[in-house]
Each structure stands twice: as structure tokens, then as C-alpha cells.
């Protein structure tokens, strides 16, 4: 540049951030939004899911006790459409909306926020593919696959709900996968021995259970699991499924996994990418070249190789397609929660 001028960039806070968080990990997912927003100088209005208000309310109380200035972190409660959530998305004094939740809700928020052209960041639904190649460590792949679909009773947007196993190891893999799934303890969530608790609400239980009712129509096989008394769904493995079935296309958000086989790497990638979602994927292989090659071909915001849900908050987090818009984490949060300003100064 001309030596008579000096140019530098300031990163300034955007303003008021509306953070709308889900019910499945209410305080953790809220903190992923609150921390970077405040760190970059914004104020936050948090609306937690109406099903889980208490933990976020308590977090705000603790922030106040710790000396956070009044009005910096605010928690409001209520429902979405026509109420608090919608009000935040359309209010002209809200500058940013960050939302984690269901994809159709994201579409509604995007439409509402467009009236004021505010910034949006969405982490939406998922239908994660889990690919187990012929050269995988079967014991390790089974253990991680159990975690990927049955953690939190499957109420995880990152759940590995579509499982693709190489034909040559299918029988060995499924024998161990079935055995370990049946060993999971279903019961009272307050009991330390419990590994699968109830679903979050009666409404959500009815939604998840409705997918099992599709058996008559879609002709899949329930290898193990199914409905239980109360709001419990047992760890459920479906076979004889394909990507055209609703159980393989739609986000169930419960402890239900559909298993298919494949024969070639190309087929596995094609099956995994045959979805409108693209939040995450997993693959299991001992071949490092294959791990890098397939990771590059999968349409997913995060790809885990020989593991699941290992998170570094500096890494980008978000999804392709119906799984979201934008990324958060590390410098990606900086891009969302700040306005870069170029200052040009004559010397």
C-alpha cells in the first residue's frame, strides 16, 4: 500500500445476541453460545427450551452472584411461535440469532429474522452416518457405535443413526453389537447403574414410538428393542432397511439405529451422502489413506475417525444442508460474534 497511509482492522461486538438453546443438553449447549458472545463484547438474551428452564436460570443466577453487570446475560422463558422465541427473532434491537434445534424451526427463524436482516447461525438436525469398513477394529467400532446411537437415549443431534457395515464383517459386527446393546441397563435416570433413561417428555416419546409403528408399512425388522412402559424406548436395532424409508431419512431423536451393508468404499460414501442432513459422520478403518480420502468425500460438518463426539471448542462446529448455516467455535465464533471494521488513516 501507499506508505502515506496505514490500514488496520478492528473487531467490534455486534450487539445483542438472542441465543435459543435446546432441551437435550440445555446448559452445555447454551454455554457454547453464551461464552463466545460475551467474550467478544456482546450482550445475550438466552431463551432455553420450555421443557428445560431450570439449569439455564440457575446459570444466570450464578453469573449475577459472580458480579456480571446487570443486563449483560439475560434469561427469558417461554415458547417459540407467537411468543418469546418469535419476538426475539423479529425484534429490531436484536442483532444476532444463534439457534440449536430442529431444522423446520430453523427455517421459521430464518424467515422471521430476514425482516431485520440480522445475522443467523444455526446448528440444526442430523441423521449421522456411521461407516464400518472391512479393516476396522470390530471391538472398538462396536463400542463407539453403541455410544454414538444410545448416549442420552439417542436424544443427540449427532447420533449415528444410520449404520453401514461392510458385508464381509457384518455377521461378526452384528453379533457383538446386538449382544452389547441388549446389555445396556434401561431404567430410572437417578440410578447410577442406568444407561438408558426415559425420553424427555410424553410428546417426544409418542414421536419416537411412531417410527416403530411404521414397521407394518415399511417392512423393516426390529432385531432388538422396541417400546417399553412409560416413556422408555429400549435400545433398538432395525435391519432390512434402506435409505428410502422414513426411519432412515428422518431424524428420530431416540435410541433407534438402522443397519445396512455395503461392499465398496464408493458405495459406502454414496449411502452416507444420500441424505438432506450433513451435521456429522463417523468412519472406522485402520487404513490411514482411506480415513483421509473418505473424510474428504463425506458431506458433513464433522467427521470422526475411529471415535465419536470428541470435541475441541476451537474447531468449527455446524453442518451441511438441512443441518445448519454457519459455524461456531474458535475463530469461527469470532467471525459471527464480531463486526470487522477497516480503519484507513493518513499518516
Same domain? For 203 and 102 the reply is no
Same domain? For 149 and 237 the reply is yes
Is residue 257 within 8 A of residue 149, CB to CB? The reply is yes
Q: What is the CATH number for 339?
A: 3.40.605.10
Same domain? For 258 and 220 the reply is yes
Give the range of the structural domain holding residue 331, as residue numbers without chain letter: 5-124+323-346
Same domain? For 217 and 275 the reply is yes
User: What pLDDT score does 3 carry?
Assistant: 84
Q: Among 343, 278, 283, 346, which residue's Cα sits nearest to residue 317? A: 278
Same domain? For 107 and 256 the reply is no
Same domain? For 179 and 269 the reply is yes
- Pairing state of beta strands 277-278 and 280-284? unpaired
User: What pLDDT score does 314 carry?
Assistant: 93
Beta bridge partners of 75: 46
Q: Among 320, 284, 304, which residue's Cα sits nearest to residue 137? A: 284
Q: What sign for the dihedral angle of Cα 283, 288, 292, 293?
A: negative
Residues tagged active-site: 123, 157
Same domain? For 237 and 293 the reply is yes
pLDDT tens for the 347 residues of the chain, in order: 578 999 999 999 999 999 999 999 999 999 999 999 999 999 999 999 999 999 999 999 999 999 999 999 999 999 988 899 999 999 999 999 999 999 999 999 999 999 999 999 999 999 999 999 999 999 999 999 999 999 999 999 999 999 999 999 999 999 999 999 999 999 999 999 999 999 999 999 999 999 999 999 999 999 999 999 999 999 999 999 999 999 999 999 999 999 999 999 999 999 999 999 999 999 999 999 999 999 999 999 999 999 999 999 999 999 999 999 999 999 999 999 999 999 999 99
Instruction: Give helix 138-150 / helix 170-183 axis angle, nearest 10°.
Output: 50
Is residue 169 within 8 A of residue 132, CB to CB? The reply is yes
Same domain? For 335 and 297 the reply is no
Number of domains in the chain: 2
Same domain? For 107 and 194 the reply is no
Asked whether residue 290 is domain-assigned, the answer is yes
Asked whether residue 335 is domain-assigned, the answer is yes
Asked whether residue 28 is domain-assigned, the answer is yes
Q: What is the CATH number for 288?
A: 3.40.309.10
Return phi, psi of residue 227, to 5°. -75, 155
User: What pLDDT score does 1 carry?
Assistant: 59
Same domain? For 111 and 146 the reply is no
Written as nine digits, the cell of 55 is: 439449569
Concatenating the DSSP letter of every residue in 102-159 gives -HHHHHHHHHHHTTTT-EEEEE-----EEEE-TTS-HHHHHHHHHHHHHGGGG--TT-
Same domain? For 276 and 163 the reply is yes
Same domain? For 150 and 280 the reply is yes
Asked whether residue 310 is domain-assigned, the answer is no
Is residue 245 within 8 A of residue 218, CB to CB? The reply is yes
Asked whether residue 317 is domain-assigned, the answer is no
Q: Rounded to the nearest 5 degrees, what angle is found at the Cα of 36, between the Cα atoms of 35 and 42?
A: 95
3-class DSSP state for residue 238?
Answer: strand
Asked whether residue 143 is domain-assigned, the answer is yes
* Distance between CA atoms of residues 231 and 196, nearest Å: 11
Asked whether residue 315 is domain-assigned, the answer is no
User: What pLDDT score does 2 carry?
Assistant: 73
Read off the pTM: 0.95
Asked whether residue 318 is domain-assigned, the answer is no
Return phi, psi of residue 145, to 5°. -65, -35
Written as nine digits, the cell of 245 is: 424409508
CB neighbour list of residue 85: distance below 8 Å, 6 or more residues apart:
20, 47, 78, 79, 109
Amino acid at each position: 500500500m501507499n506508505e502515506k497511509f496505514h490500514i488496520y482492522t478492528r473487531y467490534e461486538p455486534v450487539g445483542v445476541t438472542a441465543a435459543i438453546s435446546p432441551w437435550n443438553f440445555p446448559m452445555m449447549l447454551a454455554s457454547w453460545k453464551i461464552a463466545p458472545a460475551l467474550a467478544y463484547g456482546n450482550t445475550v438474551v438466552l431463551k432455553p427450551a420450555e421443557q428445560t428452564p431450570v439449569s439455564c436460570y440457575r446459570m444466570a443466577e450464578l453469573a449475577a452472584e459472580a458480579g456480571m453487570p446487570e443486563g449483560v446475560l439475560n434469561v427469558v422463558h417461554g415458547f417459540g411461535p407467537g411468543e418469546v422465541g418469535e419476538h426475539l427473532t423479529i425484534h429490531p434491537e436484536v442483532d444476532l440469532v444463534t439457534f440449536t434445534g430442529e431444522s423446520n424451526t430453523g427455517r421459521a427463524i430464518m424467515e422471521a429474522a430476514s425482516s431485520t436482516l440480522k445475522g443467523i447461525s444455526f446448528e440444526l438436525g442430523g441423521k449421522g452416518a456411521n461407516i464400518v469398513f472391512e479393516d476396522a477394529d470390530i471391538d472398538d467400532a462396536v463400542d463407539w457405535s453403541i455410544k454414538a446411537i444410545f448416549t442420552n437415549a439417542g436424544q443427540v443431534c449427532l447420533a449415528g443413526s444410520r449404520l453401514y457395515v461392510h458385508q464381509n464383517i457384518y455377521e461378526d459386527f452384528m453379533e457383538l453389537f446386538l449382544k452389547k446393546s441388549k446389555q445396556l441397563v434401561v431404567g430410572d435416570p437417578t440410578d447410577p447403574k442406568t444407561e438408558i433413561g426415559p425420553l424427555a417428555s410424553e410428546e417426544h416419546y409418542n414421536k419416537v414410538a411412531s417410527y416403530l409403528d411404521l414397521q407394518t408399512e415399511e417392512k423393516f425388522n426390529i432385531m432388538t428393542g422396541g417400546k417399553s412402559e412409560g416413556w422408555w424406548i429400549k435400545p433398538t436395532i432395525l435391519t432390512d432397511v434402506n435409505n428410502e424409508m422414513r426411519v432412515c431419512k428422518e431424524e428420530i431423536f431416540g435410541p433407534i439405529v438402522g443397519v445396512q451393508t455395503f461392499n465398496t468404499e464408493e458405495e459406502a460414501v454414496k449411502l452416507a451422502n444420500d441424505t438432506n442432513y450433513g451435521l456429522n459422520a463417523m468412519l472406522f478403518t485402520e487404513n490411514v489413506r482411506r480415513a483421509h480420502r473418505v473424510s474428504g468425500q463425506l458431506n458433513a460438518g464433522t467427521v470422526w475417525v475411529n471415535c465419536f463426539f470428541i470435541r475441541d471448542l476451537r474447531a468449527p462446529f455446524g453442518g451441511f444442508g438441512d443441518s445448519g448455516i454457519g459455524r461456531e467455535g474458535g475463530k469461527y465464533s469470532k467471525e459471527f460474534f464480531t463486526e470487522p471494521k477497516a480503519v484507513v488513516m493518513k499518516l
